[in-house]
Amino acid sequence: MPEIAVPAHMKPIHAKAECLYDTYFRKGENPHQTHYCPGCGHGVALKLLAEAIDELGIADRVIVVSPVGCSVFLYYYFDTGNVQVAHGRAPAAATGLKRANPEAIVIAYQGDGDLAAIGSAEILHAANRGEPITCIFVNNAIYGMTGGQMAPTTPLGGRTTTTPFGRAAHNDGYPLHVSEVLAALDGPAYIERVALGNVKQILGARRAIRKALETQMKGLGFSLVEVLSPCPTIWKMDPVEAQRRVREEMTKLYPLGVKCDRTAERQPLPAPAPAPPLEELPRILQIPEEEPAAAWAKAEGAVDCRIRVAGFGGQGVLLLGQLLAEAGMDYGLEVSWLPSYGPEMRSGTSNCHVRLSSKPIDSPLVSQPHVLIALNEPSLRKFVGAVQPGGVVLYNGTEIPADARRGDVAMYALPFFEIADREGSAKAGNLVALGALLEAVPLLPAEVVDRAMARVIRSEKWLELDRRALKRGREALRALKNEPAKEPCHA
């Protein structure tokens, strides 16, 4: 290198931005040099971004979001916060980062393959919500990193590896004008398209990027700068020729200018409510403060009860299982609750697997239950064979069908829903069944179950009815037990 002879009276006015690292990772040979190809627009775009961050003095507050594509290398350059996200998801991740850290300046830096194709939903909705983030959208009308496939932004006629005969509208659609699409929404505060086709355009881009960041700093809402950028390598052009193409061709397809600017009339968005302190969470989530009474579980040794509740949708199958699991948890047991149901809200099949155990639970699946609660006949027939010998079956009906009887399990038939109906509503039939279960298998103390019910069932009216239903279930099963065994199934 020739000798540097800067005249003594001169001061540096343009130099490498301070918010960029001195050396970059994964550059074995020359760690001061970016990873980009000669003449790549990314270098200019990130340089302008870095300069704006320095000038605004926000480096300590900035979180840049690296997407997928050549843009990802941002994490090697910016000495700021950084999160690397899945393809196209930068605006969604940026939303979360901004909401969790309202003081942060969150910048999603994305290419056109990332933003306009796989990430089109994320950017559309972030813009529509007016999320106070800044998006730098580097558009070179091609997939660069993967070797030149057609992007949504590729011009008609553009030859790419996936459109070898040129992009045709009838087959490949039209070039997507992202800035115009987003500007049509009410959410964004500021959207401008700029280019890197010559120094004049680059200085325009510099101004726009700065304004976008200022828009976020003032809390005015969503800002996006679309940067038309050269990709000399994939375009198979030398850098000067590629710059000419940006200037003369791309700007015809994608006109430059401000697409929307509501910064003058926008009021700063209200600051999001601060997250509650950690110690407040148990109260907010209504987690009981006292330690659950785990002594019983320990004293009794091995508790491992596998319960299957089955019926059709709308019978309260899942709630029944949930109450068991909640009460078990309050009681200091390990629990699992695995619902399994069809897409219908009512009348489809519905069942759930519940495990209550004094040891850690390996699998939440209950394929051979100790207890089966069958709320209809198909469920009884389907699962009765799987019940473990010595187990318990509770069936919603007046009598166990003869061909579904087993001699090696205790089987009880009770019309749960009719009993509930007499109490006020057939809907509480699941609680009658729960009462019967607790009577047949003394798993959990009554007060523990009652406390779980009070927590899970929010409505006073229903809680009152459900408490009565539970009691009737207990009584009905006790009466059944006291009857002399007239059939072998009542073991």
Partner 1 sequence: MTAAVKEDKGYIVINEDECKGCGLCIEACVQKVIRAAPYLNRYGYHPAVYDGRGCNGCGLCFYACPEPGAITVYKAAA
Binding site for partner 1 (CB under 8 A): 1-2, 4-7, 9-17, 20, 29-30, 32-34, 36-44, 46-48, 50, 77, 198-199, 202-203, 206, 232, 238-240, 243
Long-range contacts of 167-173 (CB under 8 A, 24+ apart): none
Q: How far is the CB of 74 from partner 1 (least distance, A)?
A: 12
Which lies closer to partner 1 via its Cβ, residue 79 or residue 475? Answer: 79
Nearest residue to 177 (alpha-carbon basis) of 259, 71, 238, 90: 259
Q: How far is the CB of 12 from partner 1 (least distance, A)?
A: 5
Which lies closer to partner 1 via its Cβ, residue 13 or residue 278? Answer: 13
Which lies closer to partner 1 via its Cβ, residue 107 or residue 127? Answer: 107
DSSP symbol at 352: E
Which lies closer to partner 1 via its Cβ, residue 112 or residue 423? Answer: 112
Which residues sit opposite 81 in a β-bridge?
Answer: 63
Which lies closer to partner 1 via its Cβ, residue 40 or residue 436? Answer: 40
Q: How far is the CB of 112 from partner 1 (least distance, A)?
A: 18
| Separation CA 246–CA 140 (nearest Å) | 9
The position carrying tokens 């009681």 is 331
Which lies closer to partner 1 via its Cβ, residue 2 or residue 277? Answer: 2
Which lies closer to partner 1 via its Cβ, residue 243 or residue 315? Answer: 243
Which lies closer to partner 1 via its Cβ, residue 40 or residue 356? Answer: 40
Q: How far is the CB of 318 from partner 1 (least distance, A)?
A: 57
| Separation CA 105–CA 63 (nearest Å) | 6
| Separation CA 114–CA 92 (nearest Å) | 13
Which lies closer to partner 1 via its Cβ, residue 5 or residue 287? Answer: 5
Residue 264: both structure tokens together: 């003058």
The position carrying tokens 């594509």 is 69
Which lies closer to partner 1 via its Cβ, residue 40 or residue 317? Answer: 40
| Separation CA 189–CA 127 (nearest Å) | 9
The β-bridge relationship of strands 62-66 and 81-84 is: parallel
Q: How far is the CB of 24 from partner 1 (least distance, A)?
A: 10
Which lies closer to partner 1 via its Cβ, residue 49 or residue 123? Answer: 49
C-alpha dist (Å) from residue 18 to 54, 80, 113, 428:
7, 11, 30, 68
| Separation CA 145–CA 295 (nearest Å) | 61
Q: How far is the CB of 11 from partner 1 (least distance, A)?
A: 6
Other Cβ atoms less than 10 A from the Cβ of 343: the count is: 6
Contact 449, 381 (CB under 8 A): no
Long-range contacts of 410-413 (CB under 8 A, 24+ apart): 410/440, 410/489, 410/490, 410/491, 411/489, 411/490, 411/491, 412/436, 412/440, 412/477, 412/480, 412/490
Q: How far is the CB of 259 from partner 1 (least distance, A)?
A: 23
3-state SS of 172-184 is: HCCCCCHHHHHHC
Residue 182: both structure tokens together: 């987003």
Over its C-alpha atoms, the chain yields an Rg (Å, rounded) of: 33
Q: How far is the CB of 210 from partner 1 (least distance, A)?
A: 13
C-alpha dist (Å) from residue 294 to 26, 324, 455:
53, 16, 19
Which lies closer to partner 1 via its Cβ, residue 42 or residue 245? Answer: 42
| Separation CA 285–CA 292 (nearest Å) | 16
| Separation CA 367–CA 301 (nearest Å) | 23
Q: How far is the CB of 111 from partner 1 (least distance, A)?
A: 15
End-to-end Cα, the chain, rounded Å = 97
| Separation CA 436–CA 411 (nearest Å) | 12
Residue 370 sits at φ, ψ, to 5 deg, of -80, -35
Q: How far is the CB of 291 from partner 1 (least distance, A)?
A: 57
Q: How far is the CB of 205 from partner 1 (least distance, A)?
A: 9
Q: How far is the CB of 13 from partner 1 (least distance, A)?
A: 5
